[in-house]
Amino acid sequence: MTLPPVLETRGLVAGYVADVDILHGVDLTVRQGEIVTIVGPNGAGKSTLIRAVIGLLKPRAGAILHRGEGIAGTKPHRVVARGIGYVAQRENVFATLSVEENLELGASALGVDAKPRLPQILELFPRLRERRRQRAGTLSGGERQMLAMARALVAEPDLLLLDEPSAGLSPLFMDAIFDKIREINEAGVPILMVEQNARRALAMSHRGYVLDLGRNRFQGTGADLLHDPKVIDLYLGGTGRIDA
């Protein structure tokens, strides 16, 4: 029997204001073992899609399926409890708590004991191990992003959602974050991410989607999208960066 995709959206329609839709029937699939990246111009609906999946925005139509079960409209804490981890773009750590307290709190909110997992998590993020007693608010932007990712992994999710993981980071930390994303995926966690650095993200992705005005415009392997003349001309341009 063929297993269903880890995540699937079908004809997803969503928006923030009554009678104004941001997403207009978006279809998307994430399979086991994949990194899937969503790119597109400003206002395309990329982050709106992620928020609808995690439950921060209730869809107006369409379906969201997690391993074949419908989750559209499910509250965020229940979506996370199902095994979907989420790292927001901003305000994604508790600034007044230490690194270790952030990790423990992220697990305890799901009824999970973080202590057995901490050595493995800190092995994956050695920079955090060095700063485990340090307040999160004193970390650099890249370190806070690592902490947010680590906290999402404590509960051993079967899917990780990343919203602009490299936003605002220096080139050095951007490299480190992309390295960690690849490492997490190689450890068996499928990843769906929205990313402004389109070329870098697509280069490491198994598949990608280009959204435009809330609709599927292009889809294919990361390599195919990177070399598609239409995608290059319309969305990648000379710098390869696409606004969030």
pLDDT given at position 241? 41
**Is 80 within 8 Å of 155 (Cβ atoms)?**
yes
Between these two residues, 169 and 90, which has the higher pLDDT value? 169
Residue 157 pLDDT level (bands cut at 50, 70, 90): very high
Taken as a whole, the chain contains a residue count of: 244
Tell me: pLDDT of 106 over 80: no
Residue 118 pLDDT level (bands cut at 50, 70, 90): confident
Tell me: pLDDT of 108 over 70: no
pLDDT given at position 115? 78
**Per-residue tokens: 205:** 């992705």
Q: Can you list the domains of the chain with their CATH numbers? A: 7-89+159-236 (3.40.50.300)
**Is 148 within 8 Å of 92 (Cβ atoms)?**
yes
Closest CA to 51 of 27, 68, 73, 69: 73
Residue 110 pLDDT level (bands cut at 50, 70, 90): low
Phi-psi region of 51 (alpha: psi -120 to 50; beta: other; left: phi over 0): alpha
pLDDT given at position 1? 67
Tell me: pLDDT of 3 over 90: no
Cα distance between residue 122 and residue 119, in whole Å = 5
Number of H helices, E strands in the chain: 10, 10
Cα distance between residue 121 and residue 142, in whole Å = 16
Residue whose token pair is 């951007």: 174
pLDDT given at position 91? 78
Q: Can you give the pTM of this predicted structure? A: 0.92
User: Within a 10 A sphere around the Cβ of 125, how many other Cβ atoms?
Assistant: 22
Amino acid at 41: P
List pLDDT tens digits, range 33-85.
999 999 999 889 999 999 999 999 999 999 999 999 999 999 999 999 999 99
Cα distance between residue 171 and residue 70, in whole Å = 39
Which distant-in-sequence residues (6+ apart) come within 8 Å of 36 by Cβ? 28, 29, 30, 190, 191, 192, 193, 205, 206, 207, 208, 209
Residue whose token pair is 């204001």: 17
Closest CA to 155 of 191, 108, 187, 122: 108
